[in-house]
Each structure stands twice: as C-alpha cells, then as structure tokens.
C-alpha cells in the first residue's frame, strides 16, 4: 500500500505542474485563449466575453477532475471497481440536481442573461467534480494511507501561475494590430514567465524540455 501511495503522490506532483497553470490561465487570461483560437469568421471579440466566463467556471473544476481520474485508477489497481462506480454515480447525481436548479429556478428568479446562465450551468459540472474528488480522496486514503492534496510544491506552482497571469495581463495592454496577435502575445508572456519561474525553482518537468 505504501508503494501505491508514494506513486500516487509523485503523480499528483506531476499533475499539478501542468494542471495548475492551465486552471489559472483559463481563469486569468481566458479572453486571450479565446481570441487566439476562435476569433475568426463569425466568431468575434465580443463572443469572447461570452466564452470566457464559462471557461473560467469550468477551469475551477479541472484541479478536482484530473485528481479524481488518477485516484479512480488506483481503485482499479486495487481490484475495486464498485467504489469508483458509486462515486461516479454520486457525481452525476449532484451535477444533474444543480443543473436542474439552475435551469428551472436560478435563471428565472435572478433574471440571468444567457452568458450568466451558461456560466451558472457550468457550476453543475464543477460541483459534481469537487464532490467526487472529496469522496474518492477520503475513501482511498482509508485504504492506502493519507494522500496530501496540497503540498509546499503545489503552493509554489500556484504562486508561479498567478504571477505569470499578472505579467500576461500587463502584456495584454500592449497595443497590437489585431485581437489574434494580442491574444498570442499575452499567452506567450504567460507561458514564458511560468516556465522561467519553474526553471528557477528547479522543477524537474522543465528540464525535460531541453
């Protein structure tokens, strides 16, 4: 059990290096991502303001979703398929209930716009993801020993990602000829700052890019 726990803990560290900046990036510079990937044809910069809030809400569940998938594989390795199946059913139920509340209650009561309603509906999936990770983490910890969901290394990664977003937001203020170029410039600033900070911090993942 100790060997499984150690392997999972190392896998969590590797996940954090990629998932944390993805999460922070979609929340902090989601407009740049949308502008770079989608602003062509009938998809305009104004549409970005619709996509970004939904992207940000969904990103808030990425941390939980990826960890839940990792922990689920550990149950399979232990020969237990029933527990993750029940947890998955719980996640779907929670997401469905929240979604129904948003669609048939919250939207009309608060008079939400389509953008706000779409973002609110995304909360259903995110809520289910966080319920799932809490359940799977606690049940798995009982089997193999406690797993640390947040370590000092994770804190450094979050700090690096947030710092990279701050620099990227400043880069977004630089005037360029199109929203595509602005988005690409902003994302480049975000990626370079994050990788440079990770390299200075001595993260092994960066050395693999050589």
Q: What pLDDT, in 10s, does the model give residues 135-155?
A: 999 999 988 888 888 889 999
What does R_g of the chain's alpha carbons equal in angstroms? 19
Lowest mean per-residue pLDDT among 54-58, 76-80, 131-135, 206-210: 206-210
**Average of pLDDT values for 62-68?**
93
Q: Which residue has the tokens 């527990």?
A: 83
**Average of pLDDT values for 92-118?**
83
What mean pLDDT value characterizes the chain? 88
pLDDT at 208 over 70: no
> In which band, very low, low, confident or very high, does the pLDDT at 103 lie, cut at 50, 70 and 90?
confident
- Tell me what pLDDT residue 155 has: 94
Nearest C-alpha neighbor of 192 from the set 68, 67, 77, 29: 29
Tell me the per-residue pLDDT of 4-42, one tens digit each, with 9 for 90 and over: 888 888 899 889 999 999 999 999 999 899 888 887 777
Name the token pair of 5. Answer: 């726990």
Do 71 and 80 meet the contact criterion of CB atoms below 8 Å apart?
Answer: no
Name the token pair of 19. Answer: 């998932």
Torsion of CA 32, 34, 38, 41, to 10 degrees: -80
**Average of pLDDT values for 50-69?**
90
Range of the domain at 115: 2-207
Lowest mean per-residue pLDDT among 59-63, 111-115, 190-194, 202-206: 111-115
Number of structural domains, the chain?
1
Name the token pair of 135. Answer: 């359940």
Residue 183 belongs to what H/E stretch? helix 179-200
For 179: left if phi > 0, alpha if psi spans -120 to 50, otherwise beta; the answer is alpha
- Tell me what pLDDT residue 77 has: 85
pTM of this prediction? Answer: 0.86
**Helices (H), strands (E): how many in the chain?**
10, 0
pLDDT at 210 over 60: no
Name the token pair of 160. Answer: 């690096």
pLDDT at 125 over 70: yes
- Tell me what pLDDT residue 209 has: 61
Nearest C-alpha neighbor of 135 from the set 184, 186, 89: 89
* Cα distance between residue 21 and residue 162, in whole Å: 8
Nearest C-alpha neighbor of 93 from the set 62, 129, 65: 129
């Amino acid at each position: 059990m100790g060997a499984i726990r150690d392997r999972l803990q190392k896998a969590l560290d590797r996940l954090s290096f990629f998932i944390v900046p993805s999460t922070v990036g979609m929340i902090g510079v989601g407009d740049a991502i949308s502008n770079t990937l989608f602003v062509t044809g009938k998809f305009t910069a104004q549409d970005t303001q619709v996509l970004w809030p939904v992207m940000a809400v969904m990103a808030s569940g990425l941390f939980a979703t990826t960890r839940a998938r990792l922990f689920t594989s550990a149950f399979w390795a232990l020969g237990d398929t029933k527990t993750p199946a029940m947890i998955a059913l719980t996640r779907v139920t929670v997401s469905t209930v929240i979604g129904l509340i948003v669609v048939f209650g919250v939207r009309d009561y608060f008079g939400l716009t389509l953008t706000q309603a779409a973002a609110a509906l995304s909360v259903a999936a995110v809520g289910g993801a966080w319920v799932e990770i809490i359940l799977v983490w606690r049940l798995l910890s009982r089997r193999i020993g406690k797993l640390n969901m947040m370590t000092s290394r994770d804190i450094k990664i979050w700090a690096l990602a947030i710092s990279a977003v701050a620099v990227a937001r400043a880069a977004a203020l630089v005037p360029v000829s199109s929203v595509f170029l602005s988005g690409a410039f902003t994302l480049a600033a975000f990626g370079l700052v994050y990788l440079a900070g990770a390299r200075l911090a001595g993260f092994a993942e960066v050395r693999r890019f050589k």
